[in-house]
Chain A
Amino acid sequence: MAGVMADFGNFTHAVVRAIPSSLAKEALRMNVSDVDLEKAQREHEVYVGVLKQKLGLEVIELPADESLPDCVFVEDAAVVCGDTALITRPGAESRRKETAAIRQILKELGLNIVDMSDENATLDGGDVLFTGREFFVGLSKRTNQRGAEILADAFKDYAVSTVPVTDGLHLKSFCSMGGPGLIVIGSSEPAQKALKIMQQMSDHRYDKLTVPDDIAANTIYMNLPGKGHVLLHCTPEEFPESAKVFEKLKDHMLIPVSNMEKVKVDGALTCCSVLINMKAKV
């Protein structure tokens, strides 16, 4: 192994899950919206395709579960860092069962499984921002203090700081990592405020990349052997101004990925996969 806190962004595997048809009608959403199921499924296929073909990750696709309309958003069900996988207890009651399948597959992959058994704890993976050096956990509608504590317990090497999320669904609804030490952040006031909190709480220095649209700040960063910095981000069709911002990242392989439909049910790019680095296993 490369040591503590190495290989940020280096992933070998990805776990994804298909979109159930129940998503269109039953998936949770903060704003009323109609989802075009077929379009969403096409979108998701492209997304998976990028991970698989373009990036060469080993993608494990779980079948959809019609009884779990939100099951495509696997990120919320588990937090994987290094060789440890924390199986969450999603804040939304209706999503609690999503974790079973994820747990199963992660266990099969050989990860150390940590369960969040505390009845009082809730945590959505979407509230967990791992920067490579530490965790920030958004305290949101879906995640509470107890959940964050358990996460801190599961990943003892890292500092875990809490960040109030007053607006939006998750912490990562307006931010994500765009590279080592680079936080992509939305320009809304809540987003900026959260960033400042994170910066204050951290012993490390982060650069920031501000994009006009909050949701566009949700990107997927990877550092893959042979490919270098890779960033999956919004498409110009969705957020033209934000997309322009990303184009300034000269060192990154930029891959615009459409997320127009899933975003209607509050699904961001990161939500749809759990990334794993099996090489990190000691």
Chain B
Amino acid sequence: MTTEVGSETEVRKEPEKAEEQPAAPESEPAATNQTDEAKAAEQSANDHPAPATDSAEAPAEAKEKQEEAQPADNATPQEGEDTPASPPASEKKGISRFLPPWLKKQKSQSQVGPKESQAAPKEEAGVASVKEEDGEKGEQAEAEQTSSPTAAQPQVEEEKINGEPKPEQKEEVKSEEKEEENHSTGSADTQPAKEEKAAEESQEKSAAEEENKEAEEGGEEKKDEEESPKPEGGHSFIKSPLKLTKKVKMVMCHVTMLDGSQFPCEVEKRAKGQYLFFKVYEALNLLEKDYFGLSYKDNADQTCWLDPTKEIKRQIRNATWQFAFNVKFYPPDPSQLTEDITRYLLCLQLRQDIVSGRLPCSFVTHSLLGSYALQAELGDHDSGEHRLDYISDFQFAPSQTKEMEEKVVELHKTHRGMTPAQADAQFLENAKKLSMYGVDLHHAKDSEGVDIMLGVCANGLLIYKDRLRINRFAWPKILKISYKRSNFYIKIRPGETEQFESSVGFKLPNHRAAKRVWKVCVENHTFFRLMTPEAPIKAKFLTLGSKFRYSGRTQAQTRQASTLIDRPAPYFERTSSKRISRSLDGAPMINVTEAQESAPTSWENGREPGLELSSDSKSGRLRVQGENIYVRHSNLMLEDLDKTQEDVLKHQASISELKRSFMEATPEPRPSQWEKRLTASPATSLRLQAQGRCPPSRTQEPLPDLTVDTVAKSADDKQKSGEAAWQAAEVEIEETVVVEEIRVAPKGSVTITTPEVITHVAVESEVEKPKDEVMEEQKRPVSVSSDSEEEEEEEAGEYHPQVTVSASVDQIKEEPEEEGEEEEEQQVNEEPAAEPLPEPVVEVKAQPVPAVVEENSATEPQLAPVAEESPEDILVTPDEAPNGHAESPEGHPGPVALEEEEEEEEPRVNGDASHSETERLPQVICCSEPPVVKTEMVTISDTFAAQKTEIATKEVPIVHTETKTITYEAAQLDGSGDGEPGVLMTAQTITSESLCTTTTTHITKTLKGGLSETRIEKRIVITGDSDIDHDQALAQAIKEAKEQHPDMSVTRVVVHKETELAEEGED
């Protein structure tokens, strides 16, 4: 609400309190310190535990005043924002949220004091923080209220952000939501105002926030929260009756444009980034603006992106109002840009990148790109006019040689006739292929303290050591992105042969760096992978941590918008590239090469020089293990993005066809596509287990609201409630794929051994791709959040890139802050932008898989360690637990409740997975390298004698394979089996894969003459190089089957061995 006057800083620091109190009384004099006034008002409001409504009204007035006053003269906006968030602040926040509104109010009073003044009771502090936010919102709301009538906001977003806390907040959660709604509606109502007004509003908001932040050194965290356009209840209450004089402080911004020129722009001191953005875009006449951003250097000389939704002043803190206009998201295919001017700007950026060394090129490429740049700027080479020295003014490379210049000229001559636009296009066509194109590098260390670079780009996260790419995590592969303290984590989706997620942790030089990487990741992921930006997190309940989300348009959206561009190509002047060299300083550049040398120096917060990953263990979660760094994911990532970029080669078709039809000599039997889809489900459950998360059986009802409410009730114990809320919030809709075959099973038995299943599927990219997608879809719900939450005292920032949009529930982790550092968690719903979702061939049903989870934990204790989360985290729902091991004593004819049976069966399935000794291997880089020569299949089926005839294993023989089948039939036969088919009640197939084994379990329940019969058929495919002892495998299989289903009888076992003929000697 309040604009910070120049004196604000002073006032805030200490005088705040003084002013605060006085402020309330001083209704009008506050012209200078609007913020203070606002605070005071808030305080006053707080002081009076009176109902919010009253306060709200008053504040509105204040807001108006404040708004006007905002723009006041704070020429030097140096606020404590820069300072790292102080732990207390965070704590405050956490606590405050739990506190009832009135408490908050009281606290809010304290807020002001504590922030800058220092000592405030924790609770108060906490409240204060809340207030801060609330206050901000409230202020904003006020502003909106006041302003809305008068000034319309140009952008709805802003309004939303500003959230109006009008409604009384009975329950924080509800109120918040309502607020948001209100905001949105309000915003909608508002007419397109001038940005200035919006800016003012924002400023107001921000001002309040700023104060808070300042007080808290942990400003960053708060910022995030603040930034996040989440309306927080309670603010409305705090309306200061103060009247503010209307003073608008203007500040002169200098923006370095891509051509090196300076763009001066006067903005209100409280203006949001958006305003400046707009001014710049406007000046450039740029429509495809979403690829661009404004950057600034923070105090540590690190380049940061200006958040459009936040107040500028709060972001740059003490830094100068100097910005650079840069490309933020490098379009993977610049030819898809609509306008030449956009491409031109991209060219300018790339030329900067090249000259700065940020985009390394070979000599030839430097020359070629330089020649296109020349052509674009100068036109055709004129031998008369252009002497060799005409070129020396241009810079083409970090270090330019005469030889290169000659080459450039030589090439320039060959571009004769090329228009500037064509030259730009050619420039981009070549530049986009460079491996470092659009890669945003960040110094980091791996778990072993080795210097590496994290490269964030359109496709995902790249890991470099020196100049070498040592790992790559494509966005679809990443489940969660988070940071905590100075650590940055990604959670990796398990590969096709892996059972568990893995986390990889990186150590950044400091907390801010970690957060910066996190934000960049969130933004890039959202921009390139999602159709629409993720809705800002609603403060459902007790929200801590950063709510930061990318709020701009995604690439998909901007492309769509671009199609609507209907204007004559705007005229723009291509300015001399000579300037470029001057402007370089502004360009954020990190050279991979430099990484090593410079990296060490930057580790600021020396506190945790070593990897403090261990600290995580406190919370009972064994998080990032050193080994994880090198986790290899055998799962192939096939991104659609590549498709578009890659030329579709004709031969591909033929090749793929050939693949399908033919060879794919890979002897290992692969599940068919159909089967693969099923595969996901067990995997998911396994994962859950690993994480110790209890997949609540109520998964089917994703009623976050309800849970929230319940939680709210117990608000007393904040932490506990927090956790509870957590879990509630996290209740993820786990989708287990259950295939219901509503057919009457022939002979009452269902055999999985349909040729379909067994068929070798040449796993070519084509096949895999869909699979991959399926996996993503089904697995996505796995939320990692449980790890950090529990007893973690620190806020964590998390971002869960999830593939499916619909069902996914945003998980907001709330953790009481300890050190004022945030960890932000965010679940990203990823709608694979360009990726066609797999056809919904399989019906996905939400199914409670809890049983499975527990079962697994029991049967496969060895797997647990692999999981990052310690078993302690496992929350077992009462109902679930029992089921885990319980294997219903109903073998075949047992009249057992179908449900129970199912549950029992699932666990078994997973239990089988334990056969595979190699399960962990996939996660280790150096895996065993057994040649995939021999394949052995063990089929245990409960089929009846009648089915004997059915050959369980229809392994499609491969040319060079020899097969061997051993069948074991149990003497006992179920007489009833054959004749009456019975009625098939349920059937489900579950497949789990590990490196060397694939277990497919098919469970059917049939109703025969009043008896329900359950058959479990398992297909275990073991792939390995070593000679497998058939007999032993058989015995083992039978043994295990009996152990797992003591109440059932093994009726048939088929061992099918497939061995690849001796290979020709190779070395």
Which residues of A205-232 have CB atoms within 8 Å of chain B's CB atoms? 205-215, 229
Is there contact, CB below 8 Å, between B364 and A188?
A: no
| Cβ–Cβ < 8 Å partners of A263 in chain B | 1066-1067
B-contact bits for A171-201, CB 8 A (1 contact / 0 none) = 0000000011110000111101100110111
Is there contact, CB below 8 Å, between A133 and B433?
A: yes
Is there contact, CB below 8 Å, between A82 and B650?
A: no
A152 within 8 A of B: yes
Given A187-B665, A187-B932, A189-B1025, A157 contacting B433 (CB threshold 8 A): yes
Given A134-B435, A200-B637, A205-B765, A83 contacting B651 (CB threshold 8 A): no
B572 within 8 A of A: no
Give the docked Cα–Cα distance between A212 and B959 (Å).
Answer: 11
Give the docked Cα–Cα distance between A238 and B431 (Å).
Answer: 44
Is there contact, CB below 8 Å, between A208 and B654?
A: no
Nearest-neighbour CB distance to chain A for B379, whole angstroms, equals 20
Given A160-B467, A241-B960, A82 contacting B459 (CB threshold 8 A): no
Give the docked Cα–Cα distance between A215 and B659 (Å).
Answer: 20
Give the docked Cα–Cα distance between A100 and B643 (Å).
Answer: 43
Nearest-neighbour CB distance to chain A for B1004, whole angstroms, equals 34
The chain A residue with its CB closest to the CB of B410 is A282
A162 within 8 A of B: yes
| Cβ–Cβ < 8 Å partners of B649 in chain A | 179-181
B-contact bits for A78-113, CB 8 A (1 contact / 0 none) = 000011100000000000000000000000000010
| Cβ–Cβ < 8 Å partners of B651 in chain A | 179, 182, 229, 249, 251
Give the docked Cα–Cα distance between A211 and B665 (Å).
Answer: 6
Q: Choose from B430, B471, B472, B663 the contact partner of A248 (Cβ within 8 Å).
A: B663
A148 within 8 A of B: yes
Is there contact, CB below 8 Å, between A199 and B929?
A: no
Is there contact, CB below 8 Å, between B467 and A192?
A: no
The chain A residue with its CB closest to the CB of B932 is A189
Nearest-neighbour CB distance to chain A for B688, whole angstroms, equals 24
| Cβ–Cβ < 8 Å partners of B358 in chain A | none
Given A206-B765, A241-B959, A241-B960, A188 contacting B632 (CB threshold 8 A): no
Is there contact, CB below 8 Å, between B469 and A201?
A: yes
| Cβ–Cβ < 8 Å partners of B474 in chain A | 200
| Cβ–Cβ < 8 Å partners of B636 in chain A | 196, 199-200
| Cβ–Cβ < 8 Å partners of B765 in chain A | 205-208
A256 within 8 A of B: no
Give the docked Cα–Cα distance between A185 and B615 (Å).
Answer: 43
Q: Choose from A149, A182, A266 the contact partner of B655 (Cβ within 8 Å).
A: A182
B470 within 8 A of A: yes
Given A156-B361, A182-B655, A192 contacting B430 (CB threshold 8 A): no
| Cβ–Cβ < 8 Å partners of A181 in chain B | 646, 649, 652
Give the contact stretch, choosing among A1-9, A12-20, A43-51, A270-278.
A1-9
Nearest-neighbour CB distance to chain B for A147, whole angstroms, equals 10
Is there contact, CB below 8 Å, between B655 and A145?
A: no
For A29, A160, A239, the residue with the greatest tally of chain B CB atoms inside 10 Å of its CB is: A160
Across chains A and B, the number of contacting residue pairs, with CB separation under 8 Å, is 196
Is there contact, CB below 8 Å, between B667 and A187?
A: yes
Q: Choose from A155, A180, A200, A248 the contact partner of B362 (Cβ within 8 Å).
A: A155
Is there contact, CB below 8 Å, between A82 and B654?
A: no
A-contact bits for B725-768, CB 8 A (1 contact / 0 none) = 00000000000000000000000000000000000000011000
Interface residues on A, range: 35 or more
Nearest-neighbour CB distance to chain A for B658, whole angstroms, equals 4
Give the docked Cα–Cα distance between A83 and B431 (Å).
Answer: 18
| Cβ–Cβ < 8 Å partners of A266 in chain B | 1067
| Cβ–Cβ < 8 Å partners of B925 in chain A | 164
Q: Choose from A137, A157, A179, A192 the contact partner of B666 (Cβ within 8 Å).
A: A192
A130 within 8 A of B: no
The chain B residue with its CB closest to the CB of A281 is B364
A153 within 8 A of B: yes
| Cβ–Cβ < 8 Å partners of A84 in chain B | 362-364
The chain B residue with its CB closest to the CB of A187 is B665
Nearest-neighbour CB distance to chain B for A241, whole angstroms, equals 5
| Cβ–Cβ < 8 Å partners of A166 in chain B | 926, 929
Q: Choose from B360, B467, B633, B1025 the contact partner of A149 (Cβ within 8 Å).
A: B467
Is there contact, CB below 8 Å, between B646 and A1?
A: no
| Cβ–Cβ < 8 Å partners of B465 in chain A | 145
| Cβ–Cβ < 8 Å partners of B642 in chain A | 203-205
B429 within 8 A of A: yes
A21 within 8 A of B: no
Give the docked Cα–Cα distance between A159 and B361 (Å).
Answer: 11
Q: Choose from B362, B639, B929 the contact partner of A82 (Cβ within 8 Å).
A: B362
The chain B residue with its CB closest to the CB of A146 is B466
B1027 within 8 A of A: no
| Cβ–Cβ < 8 Å partners of A211 in chain B | 663, 665
Is there contact, CB below 8 Å, between A200 and B435?
A: no
| Cβ–Cβ < 8 Å partners of A197 in chain B | 632
| Cβ–Cβ < 8 Å partners of A189 in chain B | 928-932, 1025
Is there contact, CB below 8 Å, between A193 and B929?
A: yes
B1031 within 8 A of A: no
A-contact bits for B421-436, CB 8 A (1 contact / 0 none) = 0000010011101111
The chain B residue with its CB closest to the CB of A137 is B468
The chain B residue with its CB closest to the CB of A234 is B1064
A250 within 8 A of B: yes
B909 within 8 A of A: no
| Cβ–Cβ < 8 Å partners of A5 in chain B | 433
Given A84-B362, A248-B658, A208 contacting B764 (CB threshold 8 A): yes
Which residues of B417-472 have CB atoms within 8 Å of chain A's CB atoms? 426, 429-431, 433-436, 459, 465-472
B662 within 8 A of A: yes
The chain A residue with its CB closest to the CB of B643 is A205
Give the docked Cα–Cα distance between A214 and B467 (Å).
Answer: 30
Give the docked Cα–Cα distance between A208 and B666 (Å).
Answer: 11
Given A157-B434, A158-B435, A193-B929, A205 contacting B646 (CB threshold 8 A): yes
Give the docked Cα–Cα distance between A282 and B639 (Å).
Answer: 33
Is there contact, CB below 8 Å, between A196 and B634?
A: yes
| Cβ–Cβ < 8 Å partners of A164 in chain B | 925-926
B656 within 8 A of A: yes
For B634, B643, B926, B1060, the residue with the greatest tally of chain A CB atoms inside 10 Å of its CB is: B634
Nearest-neighbour CB distance to chain B for A281, whole angstroms, equals 8
A67 within 8 A of B: no
The chain A residue with its CB closest to the CB of B1065 is A31
Give the docked Cα–Cα distance between A251 and B649 (Å).
Answer: 11
Is there contact, CB below 8 Å, between A30 and B1067?
A: yes
| Cβ–Cβ < 8 Å partners of A205 in chain B | 638-639, 642-643, 646, 765
The chain B residue with its CB closest to the CB of A33 is B1067
Q: A3-B368, A181-B649, A205-B643 are in contact. List 17 more A-B contacts (CB 8 A).
A: A84-B363, A156-B365, A158-B435, A187-B666, A187-B667, A189-B931, A193-B929, A199-B636, A200-B632, A200-B633, A207-B652, A208-B764, A209-B655, A209-B659, A211-B665, A213-B1063, A241-B960
Chain A to chain B contacts (Cβ below 8 Å), 22 pairs: A3-B426, A83-B364, A149-B467, A160-B469, A161-B468, A179-B649, A179-B651, A180-B649, A187-B666, A200-B635, A203-B472, A205-B638, A205-B643, A207-B655, A208-B765, A209-B655, A210-B665, A212-B1063, A213-B1064, A214-B1066, A238-B1064, A263-B1067
CB within 8 Å of A: which residues of B?
A: 360-365, 367-368, 407, 410-411, 426, 429-431, 433-436, 459, 465-472, 474, 593, 632-639, 642-643, 646, 649-652, 654-656, 658-659, 662-667, 764-765, 925-933, 959-960, 1025, 1060, 1063-1064, 1066-1067
Q: Which 3 A-B pairs have the closest CB atoms?
A: A159-B435, A152-B467, A190-B929
